[in-house]
């Protein structure tokens, strides 16, 4: 059980995002980790990606990769984390892994486009 109310958790997350905009990256990481420590991991892919981006900006590629992997564990077709992970693999000379992620992204996009192209798909129901 969280020591924070729902509103307080939202405030923690929002404060982490504000700290990042203010370039107080260490405080942003700390605040987001506090948020993540007090919520169920379901649907936290965006917050994991938030941390991955900060670590990437700080050239902490191992930590960024870890956060990308956590985001992808939560949502296997989370394209932003797959894209960043592919970029990290490129920078660390893991070209085959990077290519795998890019193929996965292409497959996800193709599957999504097929839904839009199918006039009987529920996306078109009004």
Q: How many domains is the chain built from?
A: 1
d(CA 46, CA 72): 10
At 84 the pLDDT is 98
- Judge whether 31 lies within some domain: no
The CATH number assigned to the domain holding 117 equals 1.25.40.10
Q: What predicted TM-score, i.e. pTM, was given to this entire model? A: 0.88
Domain enclosing residue 103, as ranges: 40-124
Q: What is the pLDDT of residues 83-106, one digit of tens each?
A: 999 999 999 999 999 999 999 999
Residue 16's contacts (CB-CB under 8 Å, 6 or more residues apart) are 28, 29, 31, 32, 35, 50
How confident is the model at residue 125, as a pLDDT? 66
CA gap 83, 68 in Å, rounded: 9
Instruction: Determine contact, residues 9/35, Cβ cutoff 8 Å.
Output: yes
Output the 3-class SS for 8-26. Answer: HHHHHHHHHHHHHHCCCHH
Residue pair 49/80 in contact (Cβ under 8 Å)? The answer is yes
Q: Say if 22 falls within a structural domain.
A: no
3-state helix, strand, coil in the chain (%, to 5): 75, 0, 25
């Amino acid at each position: 059980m969280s020591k924070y109310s729902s509103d307080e958790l939202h405030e923690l997350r929002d404060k982490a995002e504000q700290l990042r905009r203010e370039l107080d990256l260490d405080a942003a990481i700390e605040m987001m980790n506090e948020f993540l420590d007090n919520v169920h991991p379901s649907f936290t892919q965006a917050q994991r990606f938030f941390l991955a981006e900060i670590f990437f900006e700080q050239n902490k590629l191992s930590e960024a990769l870890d956060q990308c992997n956590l985001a992808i564990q939560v949502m296997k077709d989370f394209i932003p984390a797959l894209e960043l992970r592919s970029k990290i693999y490129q920078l660390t000379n893991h070209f085959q892994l990077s290519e795998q992620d890019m193929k996965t992204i292409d497959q996800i996009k193709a599957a999504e486009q097929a839904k839009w192209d199918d006039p009987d798909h529920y996306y078109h129901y009004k």
